[in-house]
Each structure stands twice: as C-alpha cells, then as structure tokens.
Amino acid sequence: MRGRGVVKAAWVEQKRPPRVVVVAAPDKPHVHEWLPRLLPMIEKHAEIAHVDLTFSYPFSDTNNDLVVVLGGDGSILQAARQMRYNQIPVVGVNLGRLGFLADIGPEQFERIWPLVVTGPCEYTEHVMLECSVYRGEQRRCCQIGLNEVALRTGSPYTMLQVDMFVDETWATTYSCDGLILSTPIGSTAHNLSAGGPILHRNLQAVVISPISPHTLTMRPVVDTADRVFELRLRRAAATTAVVVDGRELAELTMEDRVRIEKAPAAFKMINLTGYNEYRTLREKLGWSGAPRPELAPSPPAE
C-alpha cells in the first residue's frame, strides 16, 4: 500500500499477536533503566522476535510486523538503515533529547502500546533516498538514507564546485561549502541548520540546499521526489566525501558521479492518536513563542 492510509494489520486479520523486533541504543543512559520495564509490557501484547542491542539484526525475516526503537532519532535512522529495502512500521520511544521521530516518552508508550497492537493502525510512508557512487559505469557503493545525502569537505577546507544534473539535464553549478539533498523527514535536520525550508513529512519531495553558497541568489530548491539527481565535482578538496544520514559513504574524486534518487522502499512510521507534525514543531522548535526552559537565557545580573 502506498501513501497515507489506515492499514489493517496482518496480525489483526489473523487473530494473532504481532511479531516485534525491539531495537535499543546501548549508549543511551536511560535504555538500561527502561528496557527491563518495557520488555515485559511489550511481550504482554506481542511476540518479541528479537531484541537488538548492537544494531546488527539483519531484518531478513519478512514475517516481522513492527519495530519498536528505544533511543532517539539517531537510533531510528540506524534502524531504517538496517531494514534497507525491507521496511516495516516503526514506533519510536524517545530516550534521547530532541526527538522529532522518536516522539513519545516511555511513560506515554506504556499507555499507547496496547492501542497500537490491537489495530487497525495507521502509518505514513515517507520518502527515502538511494545514493549510488559511480566511477565510469561501475557502481562503487550504494546506501539508502532517511534524512539526507550531503557533499562535504574536511581539512584543508576548500569551496566546492558541483555540477548538478536533474533527469540527465544540467541544472546548475554550485559554488559552496557543501550541498545537501534532504527528504521531508530530514528537512528539520542538517537542511534546517543550513537555512533550508521545513517540508511536511507526507510530501513526495526533495529539497536541495547549498551550504554557504558563493552566490547569494543560490537558494534552496524543492523538487518532486521522482527526479534523478546527479552530482559531479568540478573542484574539490582531497577530503571531499558523500555522507548519508551523517555517515560517510565514500570519498570522492573528480572521476566520480553521485546519483541520488527516490529509494524503492519507503520508511513506515506508525501514526499515534493525538500526535501531529505541527504539535511536534511547536514543542520541539519552541514555536509556542518561548524557548525551551533548558535553552532560556539566564536573567541579567542585578
């Protein structure tokens, strides 16, 4: 099923408990506190197929129904990377800090979990990107990503010159410190810090945002997700690399081509009753008109 809609879960039709994979980030300080408490509650309403504390579960079993991720947004990105082209719906429990994707706390999860597993549940399919690096006609490497693909340089820092082709037609040449191609979900990450727009998560779109462009009229551009983008370096430092969701995929030379397109798989996030994107933006970005308490400036000295 494509797009947004109410999905009647297979375990509901078959009158069986769902098969659940629990993924938890071992480096999060609250994981070891909450995991022993949440596992019995998860198991009360579902069959736990595996508990992955090392981000190594291959997700090759197509009989799994749900993934519960304990951690933060980084943990969800890792789970999406692990699932690759076998994406199954995800419920994220925020044991980190900001939590755009892992939007509920453990106390809320305890209340919501029985409602999720009884179904039918609603989920949204989100755009993912597939990034391939070619040298000549040979594909060197390929990675699927949920947030963004970025071209970046390390020391010695040099301005990049990047030709961008869209559907095999030359679009423009960027002179910039870096270039980000972001999904709607990733629009609140690196793209936002680079001055790019926030996209609604449900859009089938990609935003291209140059980092510190040499020409001020080089502004972020939003395009449809069914385009094929190709990036070729005109000038770059020896440390230029393509990075997918914060992880380096490959160092680039002038001989390489970076091809970015909509992945054949979509990330699936369970929609929870009472939670919506504007509420998340309001609470996580301080859209209520006041900064978050921990970020509020100290009062001036008397």
* Whether 226 is catalytic: no
Residues 75 and 154 in one domain: no
Q: Is residue 267 a part of any domain in this protein?
A: no
Residues 233 and 133 in one domain: yes
The pTM of this model reads: 0.88
Q: What is the pLDDT of residue 104?
A: 86
Q: Which of 27, 52, 65, 73 is catalytic?
A: 73
Q: Is residue 302 a part of any domain in this protein?
A: no
| Residue 4 in this model has a pLDDT that exceeds 50 | no
| Residue 297 in this model has a pLDDT that exceeds 70 | no
Residues 73 and 184 in one domain: no
Residues 139 and 200 in one domain: yes
Q: Is residue 237 a part of any domain in this protein?
A: yes
What tens digit of pLDDT does each residue of 166-179 get? Answer: 999 999 999 999 99
Q: Is residue 193 a part of any domain in this protein?
A: yes
Q: Is the dihedral of CA 257, 260, 264, 265 positive or negative?
A: positive
Q: What is the pLDDT of residue 122?
A: 77
Residues 136 and 254 in one domain: yes
Residues 139 and 257 in one domain: yes
Q: Is residue 183 a part of any domain in this protein?
A: yes
Instruction: Using pLDDT thresholds of 50, 70 and 90, give the confidence band for residue 3.
Output: very low
Closest alpha carbon to 104 in 268, 274, 289: 274
Residues 117 and 85 in one domain: yes
Residues 34 and 95 in one domain: yes
Residues 65 and 152 in one domain: no
Q: Is residue 206 a part of any domain in this protein?
A: yes
Q: Is residue 113 a part of any domain in this protein?
A: yes
| Residue 154 in this model has a pLDDT that exceeds 90 | no
Domains contained in the chain, number:
2
| Residue 300 in this model has a pLDDT that exceeds 60 | no
Q: Are 175 and 215 in contact (CB under 8 A)?
A: yes
Q: Which domain holds residue 77?
A: 5-126+272-295
Residues 112 and 146 in one domain: no
CATH of the domain at 227: 2.60.200.30
Residues 94 and 71 in one domain: yes
Residue burial 129-160, b: 16+ Cβ < 10 Å; e: rest? bbbbbbeeeeeeeebbbbbbbbbbbeeeeebb
The larger pLDDT score, comparing residue 296 to residue 90, is at 90
Q: Is residue 62 a part of any domain in this protein?
A: yes
Residues 186 and 254 in one domain: yes
CATH of the domain at 40: 3.40.50.10330
